[in-house]
Amino acid sequence: MNGPKRKVNHPLRDNLRLARQLLGGTLPTRLAKSLETLSKDFHFSLGAGELQFINGSWYVTHVGLVRLSRRRKCRGIHVEVVESLCDSAASRFVLKATVFPSKGSSGFVGYGDADPSNVSFLVHGAEMRVAETRAVNRALRKAYGIGICSVEEIGSVAEPRQAASESKKLPPQPSNGNGSPTVRDRLCQVIRQHELDPNLVKVYATEFCGVKTLRDATREQVENFVKHLADWAEKDRNALLCQLNSYPPKQEEGAA
């Protein structure tokens, strides 16, 4: 006689709670339904970094896909370089991944490409590894029937940046009394200029500085963060948005 079925726990409740925090209120029906499917069918966890919310849609991460393959007892993943499509001098690579989800499976194939034009500047020089990750992600999505794209596959969408003379006109900023803007002013200027979420920036700042609240950070730590944020926003705003959207926003006392 078979014993009682063990109840399978999925992270839907936690995912919905975190998603409401991330979006700052009510979750649209479309997003809630999609999140329900991802939670129940694949057990993806938003809090564990297996899903990200970017530009109005859910994306699965490489971590989420690898963990899913482990839960489903994937039999193996084979990766190979597609030599005819690669140009190492130009840092352009194409890799092919084959996922074998079960014994006797003929495999599910996915291709991934990467070159300096479609990866974040932070990983320039590692294009082959990025291409491998993209190939594996695509093959895993095919193998397990996941329709949403992965974060790593979308790459870095190049946005034409305006020249300094054509950049958005910002109102004059207050100064610290000697004619130069304060750290707070510079941070606010970066947030406005690049249209960043101030709450998510605050969460990122606390992690970057290694403190619980920004009030605990030293001036030097905050100055380093503002410089880092401004440089990243200018060079690759989309990659920065991916980073910011990985954090559930939280409210803290005190200003940045």
The residue with tokens 């194939």 is 109
Which stretch of 18-27, 110-119, 180-189, 225-234 has the lowest confidence by average pLDDT?
180-189
- Which of 37, 63, 40, 66 lies closest to 51 in space, CA to CA? 63
What's the pLDDT at 163?
31
Q: What's residue 156's pLDDT? A: 56
CATH code of 103's domain: 3.30.160
Instruction: Please check whether residue 2 lies inside any domain of the structure.
Output: no
Q: Which element (helix H / strand E) includes 69?
A: helix 62-71
**Does residue 124 sit within a domain?**
yes
Note the pLDDT of residue 199. 82
* Residue 203 domain-assigned (yes or no): yes
Number of domains in the chain: 3
Same domain for 101 and 126: yes
Side-chain half-sphere CA neighbours of 31 within 13 A: 21
In terms of domains, do 74 and 149 share one?
yes
Distant-in-sequence, close-in-space partners of 38: CB < 8 Å, separation ≥ 6: 15, 44, 51, 58, 60, 148
In angstroms, the CA 154 to CA 54 distance is 10
Domain membership of residue 160 (yes or no) is no
* C-alpha radius of gyration, the chain, whole number: 22
pLDDT band at 241 (very low <50, low <70, confident <90, very high): confident
Please state the rounded mean pLDDT for residues 66-95: 96
In a domain, residue 163? The reply is no
Better-scored residue on pLDDT, 190 or 133? 133
Question: pTM here?
Answer: 0.62
226 and 200 in a common domain? yes
What range defines the domain where residue 106 resides?
Answer: 69-154
Residues 95 and 122 in one domain: yes
Domain annotation covers residue 168: no
- The torsion region of residue 122 among left (phi > 0), alpha (psi -120 to 50) and beta comes to alpha
21-30, 102-111, 181-190, range with greatest mean pLDDT: 102-111
Whole-number pLDDT of residue 2 = 60
Q: Is the pLDDT of residue 255 over 60?
A: no
